Structure 1
Amino acid sequence: MTELDSLPGIRAAYDAVAVRYAQQFTDTLRDRPVERALLAAFAESVRAGGGGEVADLGCGPGHITAHLRESGLRAFGVDASPAMVELARRANPGVRFEVGSMAALDLADGVLGGVLSRASLIHVPPPGLPAVLAEFARVLAPGGRLLIGCLATDDPAVPTQPYDHSVATAYRLSPDHLAGLLRGIGVHEVARVLCEPKPTDKRQFKELLLLAAKEPVH
């Protein structure tokens, strides 16, 4: 598929803040027990489905990729920002990190046991969302798992809502809209969790964690 028109701007924005971002967000799971639990469930379901490599798409400085590897997965990272990928490689020697786009992955069909998209799908403009999700489904093996983390819209009936992101234009997503798009490409929802914001959070938005699986071949 073709690249997203927004990609060059997103890449440049994250390149510019890569060092500061890595310093600020490398310990984000410490106070997120629910997300840690969903990541553990994701890892367990990937292993139960036969394993296979797992792609952390939009991996940033690689801290979540490293967490997945600690949980026993053969995880590697992909990010549009060369600066982020360089930081990830320095912090995690021996782990594979690649510069690439979620919209056009340099992977063959059906080769992955799992895909993680944590706070990366938020930068996809709404018209490009179906195609990016289709790319996720393309690289997943039958039965492969997908875990998406993003911010949720206030009204489930509203498909997407832009919000003020400190780095690049971003969108909140309706859980039902996202699950419906996935169903249309043969990826069915397994579980969803909506986390309430903490009083100290800058943005008072709910966070969505959605676990899904690609339909097996019958």
Structure 2
Amino acid sequence: MNAIRASYDSIAADYAEFLANELDDRPLDRAMLAAFAEIAGAGARVADVGCGPGRVTTLLYDLGLDAYGIDLSPGMLAVARKTYPHLRFEEGTMTALDVADGGLAGLLAWYSVIHIAPDQRPAVFAEFHRVLAPGAPVLLAFQVGDESLHVSEALGHTVSLEFQRLRPERIAEELTAAGFAVTATLIRERVGNDKVRQAFVLARREH
């Protein structure tokens, strides 16, 4: 976690600029976010876990949600707070969320569970289940694959990041085991700078 935090702190400003318009040419990604927002319901309190510079948090807000961001990196949070001063951003980790049991009407993990080791994902999904109200949606986004990758350079900065490419069917199995009902899985082909296919898994807390 310390390496992840330090790496994202170092690239925060450049990362925000690099991804500022990322969703403009990704209508399917936006459609999944819109579906998530509709299921959660207008005004629903939802958390963007691993929010980075807040680019998706503000999109959820614009879709009518009471959205706020949670991130491990103070550097990312500083950028988010400066860019979107009308939104709330908190420092935290998805392994132990500072949220009451059943306190959320929705949870987004947009390319953030990729940093969780495979043997830790069940505990993370159990934590997602704990903080969500019954029936509330969770939406995960990630790259498709089986590889564990190490990144030592990003946007001209030296970093140390481990991330996982994931199989949607495996994530669906793990969510089901954690007490979720999977409602949709979308796999889309590469767009823009994508190196591999991208996946989106939408589920609801069952009970």
Which of 161, 164, 168 is the equivalent residue of 2:147?
161
- Indicate conservation of the 8 Å contact 1:26/1:61, yes or no: no
Task: Tell me the residue number matched to 1:144.
Answer: 136
- Aligned-residue CA RMSD in angstroms? 1.4
> Where does 1:14-29 land on structure 2 (aligned, <5 Å)?
14-29=8-23
CA distance, structure 1, for counterparts of residue 64 and residue 114 of structure 2: 27
- Structure 2: which 5+ runs fail to align? none
CA distance, structure 2, for counterparts of residue 137 and residue 26 of structure 1: 30
> Where does 1:56-75 land on structure 2 (aligned, <5 Å)?
56-75=48-67
Task: Tell me the residue number matched to 1:215.
Answer: 206
1:146-197 Cα distance to aligned partner (Å, 9 max, x none): 00000112xxxxxx42135445111011111110111111101100100111
CA distance, structure 2, for counterparts of residue 201 and residue 61 of structure 1: 19
CA distance, structure 2, for counterparts of residue 96 and residue 185 of structure 1: 28
Task: Tell me the residue number matched to 2:190.
Answer: 197
CA distance, structure 2, for counterparts of residue 31 and residue 17 of structure 1: 23
Task: Tell me the residue number matched to 1:206.
Answer: 197
CA distance, structure 1, for counterparts of residue 37 and residue 71 of structure 2: 21
What is the TM-score normalised by the length of structure 1? 0.88
Task: Tell me the residue number matched to 1:87.
Answer: 79
Q: Residue 3 of structure 2 aligns to which amino acid in structure 1?
A: G
Cα distance change of structure 1 residues 65 and 202 upon mapping to structure 2, 3 Å threshold:
closer
Task: Tell me the residue number matched to 1:156.
Answer: none
Please state how far the C-alpha of 1:26 moved relative to its aligned partner: 1.7
- DSSP-derived class of the 1:127 partner: helix
Task: Tell me the residue number matched to 1:157.
Answer: none
CA distance, structure 1, for counterparts of residue 199 and residue 150 of structure 2: 18
- Structure 1: which 5+ runs fail to align? 1-6, 154-159
1:101-135 Cα distance to aligned partner (Å, 9 max, x none): 01110111111000000011111111111111111
CA distance, structure 2, for counterparts of residue 29 and residue 140 of structure 1: 26
Please state how far the C-alpha of 1:25 moved relative to its aligned partner: 0.7
CA distance, structure 2, for counterparts of residue 164 and residue 190 of structure 1: 32
CA distance, structure 2, for counterparts of residue 164 and residue 202 of structure 1: 17
CA distance, structure 2, for counterparts of residue 105 and residue 183 of structure 1: 20
Please state how far the C-alpha of 1:52 moved relative to its aligned partner: 3.1
Task: Tell me the residue number matched to 1:4.
Answer: none
Q: Residue 46 of structure 1 aligns to which amino acid in structure 2?
A: A
Please state how far the C-alpha of 1:202 moved relative to its aligned partner: 5.4
Aligned length, in residue pairs: 200
CA distance, structure 2, for counterparts of residue 93 and residue 193 of structure 1: 32
- Indicate conservation of the 8 Å contact 1:188/1:212, yes or no: yes
